[in-house]
Structure 1
Amino acid sequence: MKISFVLPTVGMSGGIKVVAIYAKMLADKGHEVVLVSPPPQQPGFFQKVKSVLKGSGWPQAKPTKSHLDGLGLNHQVLDTYRPVTDKDLPDADIVVASWWETAEWVYALGGSKGAKVYFIQHHEVFDFLPVERAEATYRMPLHKIVIAKWLLDIMNHQYGDSHVDLVSNSVDRQQFYAEPRGKQPVPTIGFLFAYADFKGVDVTLKAIQKLKVTIPHLRVISFGSFKPDDFPHWDKTIEFYYSPAQDNIRNLYAQCDVWMTASRTEGFNLPAMEAMACRTPIVSTKAGWPMEAIESFKNGVLTEVDDVDALAKGAEWVLSLNEDDWKALSLRAYETLAESSWAHSTELFEKALKNAIATSRKK
């Protein structure tokens, strides 16, 4: 198949990571894959003036690292930030939108660009977005592929689309793995840092402070693609790793006795899966994939969103287990992913693309 992916500005987000994995694996299977994205937006005039007045000079948008780097894929970046149009894409069998704004662009494309697919990795109806426009994209007659059952349910019940393919994300076992181990000499908890409010880092920090009342010598590890310098109430005793190399992330997971994720909403939550692949039990709010995978006090702990006390108590339960019980919990977390592989997910994604072609030919 000839497959085009239409992306927003690329970076180190989980959504771009998933697209990069599928694009690479589809290309390796012999498909012709093209990815097109706009560059970062230039700062606005008032932002530029403010920068000059502060003595920082005339700012320019800087290229960012992305999960597409070094994969050898045919990734074409537009000359300026604007919608992707017909002239930017080759004729193809399939064209895939990867988030709400790109769905608008793909919907406007001519038929020669391929059967139109909407790869949905979240229900993007956040306050910081134009909600009505975002919602409207889910009603467009695009063939939908979703990554989690909760998204399948929303497309079915809220938008009336019952012809949706579910293709769950997976984990790279060559990148995320760890040998069986016992508890750390110093009790250790980890979490992913992000500024987005829906990631719930503020809740995580509150839960960790509660946890330190009962475990004052607690070690805390975090990493992220942005520095937390301006984050309210950041605890400077946290060991923070800024944009660690992808091959080093598993070592951070494997240094933890428990991984905490307090998201208010999640499309999937890849870090939770990655931590479990590294034999680290997770304590998570009921958001994204953990809702499907975690059975409380069996292979991790699930809590309600924004429940600081429950998150702290869940982490305390994991950290208070004796050596043998922690090892058993670690093994159950690891075994949760026994049947997960990107090769299998790619087969399902490829099948979904063929479904989209078949459906478009019937119209």
Structure 2
Amino acid sequence: MRICFLVPELGRSGGAETIRSYARLLEARASFEVELIRADGEPIPEGDDPYDVAIATWWGTAGHLWRVPARRRAVLLQSIESRFYEERHFFERLAAEEVLSLPVAFVTVAGWMRDLLAELRPDAPCEMVRRGIDKSAFPPRQRAPREGPLRVLVEGQPSMWFKGVHEAVACVGAMREPAELTVVAGDPADAGEVDGARVVGGLDPGGMADLYAESDVLVKLSRVESLGLAPIEAAHVGTPAVVTPYTGHEEHVVHGRNGLVVGFDDAPGTVRALDRLARDASLLGTLSEGALETAREWPSAEDAADSFADALRAIAERPAPDAEPALQDLARARLRRLELTREYVRQSEAALERAEGERDWLRRALQEARDHVEELGTAMRGLEGIVAQKDRLIEDIRSERAYRAAVAVRRALLRRGG
């Protein structure tokens, strides 16, 4: 089977590593021929020999699917990507949402996304393949009883708003019990200021496994995730996690069994959970054993590649999706985008008008202040002239012979009187 992945880039993110892993493991199978195509950089290949399946891996690559000769087209959904953007990134959010309306098959990495697509696009073929773990890189570790401060590992890029890294760091800093804090980031150079933490990054899977094993607990307070890869990797070496209830956590974290779930924006609750783990070695041990049990049931990278290969075969063998329902859904999405854009423009114009009004008021106030300053300057110069005249008058009086004589008489009288 001949397939291609359309990629925007292949950095150090978990999503990029998933694509690399599938490409590598599928290529090792004799029945697969795999290509990675940079959708935004390299020329899109053309020719009469179509791919069996062309796969977009990010919303920005989905539009290139029809530039690739292919019998079937699919989108690998590693998250609902519109959620990565803040409200101010209006157009990116809408563009990412429109991918869900395309006449393609979908492959999701989590059950919650499969269920969501079943509601939004019941006509769309959808396969679910969980991301596997390289069991050789993340083998179970023997964990000695903890001595000293609680060793806390916070995972995530601090510069990404939805990762909750700064919130996690603040919670560790607010603990009553002693703790040692490490932050692991994909790009430490772009981490910014992280108070009271050792910041590391750029680690290979073996290095990450060692870091997890050196930690007593992983803290991940994300607002947006598909599954949350770090807690799954950490579980494989017996490190439990404290997580927020982001989408996908329920597929591998069970509160009180292999980790603890705290609320969004619940800093006091998170601090209490960490202090509890620092004080209760028995609870920490129970969660560690539960994490290892979860890891044993999680698919390996080879298992996931097998499931992904089965999903691609199913997509290739299944008739191409009916374009009519997809186009209807896309038309509704475009109409929604148009209406929301109109409202966004209206609000932007109103904000611009307010800003221009405030600017004009400030300009007038500044000019009035300058005028007052000029008036005050003129008045001050006039007063300075009057004071100078009085100073000269005083000096003239003091220089007169009669004044000096009067002063001498007064002094003489004062001496006699004394």
Whether TM exceeds 0.5 here: the answer is: yes
1:311-344 alpha-carbon deviations (Å, 9 max, x no partner): 222222222222x443232111111121221222
Aligned to 1:175: 137
In structure 2, do the counterparts of structure 1 residues 294 and 161 end up closer, same or farther at CA, with 3 Å as the change threshold?
farther
Structure 2 partner of 1:193: 156
Q: Does structure 1 residue 255 correspond to structure 2 residue 214?
A: yes
Say if 1:133 and 1:276 are closer, same or farther in 2 by CA, change over 3 A: same
What SS does structure 2 have at the residue aligned with 1:338?
Answer: helix
Cα contact 1:276–1:334 (8 A) shared by 2: yes
Whichever residue aligns with residue 202 of structure 1, its letter is H
Q: 2:295 matched to 1:337? A: yes
Task: Note the alpha carbon deviations across 1:95-144, whole angstroms, 9 max, x for none.
Answer: 111011111111x235x323101000010112346122111111101100
> Which residue does the alignment assign to 2:10?
10
CA contact (8 A) 1:183 1:257 kept: no
Pairwise CA distance, 1:158: 3.1
Give the drift of 1:193: 3.3
Tell me which amino acid in the other structure corresponds to 1:198.
F
Partner in structure 2 of residue 149 of structure 1: 111
Alignment correspondent of 2:58:
99
Displacement, 1:306?
2.5
SS of alignment partner, residue 12 of structure 1: coil
Residues 21 and 256 (structure 1), Cα distance of their counterparts in 2 relative to 1, 3 Å cut: same
Q: Which residue of 1 is the match for residue 36 of structure 2?
A: 35
Q: Distance in 1 between matches of 2:206 and 2:48?
A: 33
Please report how far the alpha carbon of residue 197 of structure 1 lies from its aligned counterpart in structure 2 after TM superposition. Answer: 0.6
Q: CA deviation at 1:38?
A: 5.1
TM-score (norm 1): 0.80
**How far is 1:231 from its partner?**
3.0
- Taking the aligned partners of 1:337 and 1:141, their CA distance within structure 2 comes to 36
Aligned residues with identical type, % of pairs? 22
Secondary structure class of the residue paired with 2:63: helix
Question: Which residue type is aligned with residue 291 of structure 2?
Answer: A
Q: Answer yes or no: is 1:241 the counterpart of 2:203.
A: no
8 Å CA contact retained: 1:175, 1:247 = yes
Q: More displaced, 124-133 or 140-149?
A: 124-133
Which residue number in structure 2 is paired with residue 24 of structure 1?
24
What amino acid is the match of 2:34?
A: V
Q: Distance in 2 between matches of 1:362 and 1:287?
A: 31
Which sections of structure 2, spanning at least 5 residues, go unmatched? 323-418
1:30-179 counterparts in 2 under 5 A? 30=30, 31-37=32-38, 78=42, 85-87=44-46, 91-106=50-65, 108-109=66-67, 112-125=69-82, 126-127=85-86, 128=89, 130-161=92-123, 163-179=125-141
* Equivalent residue letter for 2:144: G
Greater helix proportion = 2
In the alignment, which residue of structure 2 is the partner of 1:274?
233
Unaligned ranges ≥5, structure 1: 40-76, 79-83
- Runs of 4+ aligned structure 1 residues displaced above 6 Å come to none
State the distance in 2 between where 1:345 and 1:220 align. Answer: 33
1:177-225 Cα deviation digits (max 9, x unpaired):
24221343231000113021111112212211222xx11x311112222
Does the 8 Å CA contact 2:107/2:311 hold for their aligned counterparts? yes
The DSSP-based 3-state class of the residue aligned with 2:103 is coil
> RMSD between aligned alpha carbons?
2.2
Shift of 1:89: 11
* Secondary structure at 1:18 match in 2: helix
Tell me, yes or no, if the aligned pair for 2:257 and 2:286 is still in contact at 8 Å: no
CA contact (8 A) 1:259 1:275 kept: yes
* Secondary structure in structure 2 of the residue aligned to 1:283: strand
